[in-house]
Structure 1
Amino acid sequence: MPKTVSRHGPDYPSALQEALAWLGAPPADDPLRDLSPLRSHLAAIAPLAIKPLQYLKILELFQTRTGLTGSTVKPLLLDATLPVAKRLRTVAHGLMTVHEALAAGYLKVIRTAAPEKLRGLKRTPAHLCSLGLANLAQQFEVAQLISAPAPQDFWSQAQTFYRLIPTGLPPDTAPPPAVTEAELHMKGMLALAAAQPEGFSPREAAFLAEYLRNCAAALEILPAAAASAADGYWLDEVHGFPPTASSRRPPPGDATLHFSCAALSRLARLHLSHIEQGVRPETFGLPREASFPDYRSVLARAADRWASPPKRQSHRRHHGYRVEVCTHLGPLWQQLRNGRAATETEVELPASDWMILNESPSGYAIMHVAGELAGLVAGSAIGLRTAPDKPWNICIVRWARSENPEHIELGLELVAPLAEAVRIARRGDGAEQPPIPALLLPPLPALNRSEALLTARGYFAPGQFTLINESPGRLQVTDCAAGQLAMHTACIEIFEFERSLAPA
């Protein structure tokens, strides 16, 4: 337990006295009310000339309060969508600022405290590095929950802590637990970054971060670049760039840290194999949720990325023209069902203007320019068209980034150049179930995909169903059989099917 610090003393600056008085008072009933004073008091005492050991004791008191507040804030972010609500984004950035301040405080203590005095408190530089890296890991995780990039100099600071872990340790001795803990925090951040968390929904990213708190030790930090660039990553301290796959960009000469996620990928696949065989995930230290289909999908996607970082399959063409995007599939489905141009339809289509940053045959990178939007998350389906008289392309959001509420970028995978609005009906428990809306996607021979249907998450099931295709003056009903699931995300499913030759 951190020791208490007396808040009395004629030489204490008022800012320090106020901070100590606040720390000495009971926590607020609502931990969210502690967030603002946490930020202000940490910022106020940071520049003060406080003795290192005293500063450390104060930081540890702030750390306890931060843990209580973080446990309240993070669940609020699990269902966040873009653009993130103003209050929610403010709260998230506040928590990130607190973790950043705590990490900077521990780094200050490491650099100014005498090692022998730290040992008197049963503390070591490795222990403080572990605390600092733990705060950076929390800061990074919260950033992923709101689709924000890591703060500037984040990775440089993480590497600084990593280099300081062995400070003062006798050579050729077994590392103490604090060293292992500090390295685990660093490995967890590296693995989360390598999994490309901007491609996961907030809830998926939170699950992956939890998985790595238990399993990141399998990531290998290497003394030099990996023999094979296929599974190697590098991190440079000079420019502060995030982890980069060697297969996408060769490491520069000043790359100071190399790592491989190959062993971590094998471990994740082993866990998936055990779960599919019916082994409870708790038996090997994973949360119960790891057995759920959605989370197995998260782990499988992460394992694929750790084993083989995605490579660009085609050249990207940089452009700057505008497109129209509809992020609400309900109104888009209704317009497609009417089969009319946007200027003629009675359906008010909530669309927004975006700029194409670059494009390839497989998709687009776009930036929001104007117009209302809501509900965006990695894995959702959207419509995109280049002009009012052009068909709607159907795309899946593969990644989402938002540095601030006014700036949103999306990476889109093109899954169909056009679509038809249809409904599908199934029989369940002997009774006909109400038809559900779906988008009929044409065959794509280039992707070896036959005719397919896009539905909301959770509707796919093997077996027979009825396809209902309606338009003004026309009704077509066809018996069909569901085929393989071609794609599923946190929001949608795409599955192939075969039509029956017999009349429905």
Structure 2
Amino acid sequence: MQASSATSDDERDLLAWLEDEPAESVADDVAAFRARFRPADAGRWTHGDLRVLEAAAERVLDMADRLRPQLLAVHLPVPGELYEVSERVCGALLDVAGWFAERAVQARGLGGERNVLCLGGLGLLSGVFILSGLAAAPVPAGVWRQVHRLARAAELMRAAPDDPARCAYLRLISVAVSQPEGLTGRELAWAFEFIDARVLAVAGFAAGASAGSAASWWIDTDADLAPQAAARRPLPEDTARATQLWYFNPRPMAQKLGECVEWITAHMTAAELAGMDCEVEPLASEEGAFPAGLSSLEALALLRRLRNHWMATPVREQPRRQNQYMVQVCMGLTAVWELGCSGRAEPGQVHEWVVLNESPAGLAIMSVAGAQANVEAGVALALRRDPQQPWAVCVVRWIRSEMPGQIELGLQVIGLSFQSVKVGFRGRAVQQLAPALALPVMEPMRRHPAMLAPAGTYASRRFVFVRDGTGVYIAQARALGLDMQTQGVELFQYEIDPYPI
């Protein structure tokens, strides 16, 4: 690509610096970048030598790539210094993406240059989404405005289904409508790699009011606004405005995921019969359809959740009321199981959190212990308000961290009490008992008792469970199907088998 103007001495100096080795620390590198590329001088980069802009993009993307493994390696909430570095790198990515968008608008008549600019800008904004998600931080203000601006400049409504810029845009939309705050860092990174042209080619994507439906998400490309679910937020009453919106329907993609779920299930069955450990075996297909990073079990759980989100928009059935009081929290299935066995918590096992709002089916809590939280989406926890009350069992549905050291969890209540048991399924190549929590009936959400066990425990219809108490209780039961599966736990209802064999 040719430069649009003669290269000045300043630009040659910038190119030399950008092409030199980066600072060893990402914090130092982003500080040096900020000193040379000030937002106030944006006009220089949108009208100057394009090579400078491209080199700047490579430099900030390199910062993001170096920061990503650091974020993946820590528990939430992210330590304050790392959180702040992530914010600064996201700011740099957003600024450079904005310069790409401005240049793309100017290059409307130059198809090749415009397409490269739009794709490059969307790649930078994808980096913002991933870093923000890994830190459980909100997406910075202005990101969606630039995403939509680049999409308009690329004229995506006229683009072919496999157009790279169209795929990059729809990938961002697809992740945004999948409740990314409910994904672990590894799941989020895997999803960005997995959602490719083969999946996105079948997505419903059109403009005009006639394209909308109850299953659609509407997109206001003139606003700094994420996709909005039609089932949650009605379309604008202004008919003229509604005709200018874009509409995205992920349901056809959910049907496509069914093929992937079937392939992984067959892969796991074959591995189980061969005596292999499918829970930790890396996932790979002959077609190369699955990226590295998740085991078969983890990928299966993630694809099922993505399919559920894409098939039907989750809508809160019961409003939450604001409240504020302290609760005790025991984090993790193993810790909760041990708590049920001993009847008392070990030192450091229980921490205090504050409830922000609640409903019969769930609540939101905030940590008052800062970096002691060590939590991720999909884990189980137990909480209670008063030592005289039984422990309620919950699953973490989403995580948000709007500032360093602070973390907020959205919880789904799955049991108002529990008992610690061990379960074993028939048909497993390796016969062993797994720790589980026996949960009572929870009307109207659950009409049968249930088991919460480590992910991968459920293997067949029949299983046995053992409960220690004043005596040992052993029973055979029939599982009634998998109700929930995350990367860490799974929930299934059951009934006592009246005809054990």
Q: How does the TM-score come out when normalised to structure 1?
A: 0.81
* 1:257 aligned partner: 246
Larger Rg: 1
* 2:206 aligned partner: 222
Match of 2:444 among 446, 452, 474: 446
Instruction: Tell me if structure 2 keeps the 8 A contact 1:396–1:413.
Output: yes
Q: CA deviation at 1:303?
A: 2.1
Q: Percent identity?
A: 28
Q: CA deviation at 1:308?
A: 1.3
Instruction: Tell me if structure 2 keeps the 8 A contact 1:355–1:367.
Output: yes
Instruction: Tell me if structure 2 keeps the 8 A contact 1:355–1:368.
Output: no
Q: Deviations over 1:296-332 (max 9, x none)?
A: 2212221221221112223333333443322244444
Match of 2:41 among 47, 53, 56: 47
Instruction: Tell me if structure 1 keeps the 8 A contact 2:78–2:371.
Output: no
Q: CA deviation at 1:264?
A: 2.1
Which blocks of at least 5 consecutive residues in structure 2 are unaligned? Answer: 271-283
**Matched residue SS, 1:101:** helix
Q: Report the more deviating stretch, 380-389 or 46-55.
A: 46-55
Aligned length: 479
Task: Please tell me the residue identity of whatever aligns with 2:98.
Answer: A
> Aligned equivalents of 1:53 and 1:141: distance in 2?
29
Match of 2:180 among 188, 197, 214: 197
Instruction: Tell me if structure 1 keeps the 8 A contact 2:351–2:369.
Output: no
* 1:236 aligned partner: 220
**Matched residue SS, 2:209:** coil
> Aligned equivalents of 1:217 and 1:136: distance in 2?
21
**Matched residue SS, 1:421:** strand
CA 108–300 in structure 1, closer or farther in 2 if over 3 Å, else same: same
* 1:22 aligned partner: 17
CA 257–457 in structure 1, closer or farther in 2 if over 3 Å, else same: same
Q: CA deviation at 1:59?
A: 1.6
CA 41–458 in structure 1, closer or farther in 2 if over 3 Å, else same: farther
Q: Deviations over 1:213-261 (max 9, x none)?
A: 3333433332123556321111235652321100111122346332222
* 2:471 aligned partner: 475
> Aligned equivalents of 1:27 and 1:142: distance in 2?
19
Q: Report the more deviating stretch, 90-99 or 408-417.
A: 90-99
CA 45–19 in structure 1, closer or farther in 2 if over 3 Å, else same: farther
* 2:414 aligned partner: 415
Task: Please tell me the residue identity of whatever aligns with 2:249.
Answer: S
Please tell me whether residue 272 in structure 1 is matched to residue 255 in structure 2: no
Q: RMSD value over aligned CA atoms? A: 3.9
Task: Please tell me the residue identity of whatever aligns with 2:485.
Answer: H
> Aligned equivalents of 2:382 and 2:371: distance in 1?
15
Task: Please tell me the residue identity of whatever aligns with 1:475.
Answer: G
Which blocks of at least 5 consecutive residues in structure 1 are unaligned? Answer: none
> Aligned equivalents of 2:154 and 2:500: distance in 1?
72
Instruction: Tell me if structure 1 keeps the 8 A contact 2:425–2:460.
Output: no
Q: CA deviation at 1:412?
A: 0.9
Please tell me whether residue 295 in structure 1 is matched to residue 293 in structure 2: no
> Aligned equivalents of 1:494 and 1:61: distance in 2?
49
Task: Please tell me the residue identity of whatever aligns with 1:421.
Answer: S
Match of 1:59 among 53, 57, 69: 53
> Aligned equivalents of 2:401 and 2:25: distance in 1?
26
Aligned pairs for 1:42-121 within 5 A: 43-44=37-38, 47=41, 50=44, 52=46, 54-78=48-72, 80-110=74-104
Match of 2:490 among 470, 490, 493: 493
Q: CA deviation at 1:282?
A: 4.7
Q: Report the more deviating stretch, 228-237 or 294-303.
A: 228-237
Q: Deviations over 1:451-500 (max 9, x none)?
A: 333233344444876644334xx232414346243322111123445557
* 2:276 aligned partner: none
**Matched residue SS, 2:444:** helix
CA 206–46 in structure 1, closer or farther in 2 if over 3 Å, else same: same
Instruction: Tell me if structure 1 keeps the 8 A contact 2:367–2:373.
Output: no
Instruction: Tell me if structure 2 keeps the 8 A contact 1:79–1:203.
Output: no
CA 423–272 in structure 1, closer or farther in 2 if over 3 Å, else same: closer
> Aligned equivalents of 1:482 and 1:176: distance in 2?
50
Q: Report the more deviating stretch, 315-324 or 287-296.
A: 287-296
CA 267–65 in structure 1, closer or farther in 2 if over 3 Å, else same: same
Instruction: Tell me if structure 2 keeps the 8 A contact 1:226–1:258.
Output: no
**Matched residue SS, 2:93:** helix
Q: CA deviation at 1:46?
A: 5.8
Please tell me whether residue 185 in structure 1 is matched to residue 181 in structure 2: no
Please tell me whether residue 207 in structure 1 is matched to residue 190 in structure 2: yes
* 2:280 aligned partner: none
Q: Report the more deviating stretch, 246-255 or 440-449.
A: 440-449
Q: CA deviation at 1:362?
A: 1.6
* 2:126 aligned partner: 137
Task: Please tell me the residue identity of whatever aligns with 1:337.
Answer: C
CA 291–274 in structure 1, closer or farther in 2 if over 3 Å, else same: farther
Instruction: Tell me if structure 1 keeps the 8 A contact 2:476–2:500.
Output: no
Task: Please tell me the residue identity of whatever aligns with 1:101.
Answer: D
Task: Please tell me the residue identity of whatever aligns with 1:490.
Answer: Q
> Aligned equivalents of 1:51 and 1:209: distance in 2?
29
Q: Deviations over 1:138-163 (max 9, x none)?
A: 21122122222211122122112222
Q: Report the more deviating stretch, 250-259 or 308-317.
A: 250-259
> Aligned equivalents of 1:429 and 1:309: distance in 2?
35
Aligned pairs for 1:453-464 within 5 A: 453-462=451-460
Q: Report the more deviating stretch, 91-100 or 415-424.
A: 91-100
Q: CA deviation at 1:286?
A: 4.1
> Aligned equivalents of 2:293 and 2:371: distance in 1?
35
> Aligned equivalents of 1:393 and 1:383: distance in 2?
5
**Matched residue SS, 1:143:** helix
* 1:385 aligned partner: 384
Instruction: Tell me if structure 2 keeps the 8 A contact 1:56–1:106.
Output: no
* 1:150 aligned partner: 139
* 2:281 aligned partner: none
Q: CA deviation at 1:194?
A: 0.9
Q: Deviations over 1:328-369 (max 9, x none)?
A: 4444434433336xxxx6655421221232x22221123334
**Matched residue SS, 1:375:** coil
> Aligned equivalents of 1:34 and 1:133: distance in 2?
25
Instruction: Tell me if structure 1 keeps the 8 A contact 2:71–2:78.
Output: no
CA 347–226 in structure 1, closer or farther in 2 if over 3 Å, else same: farther
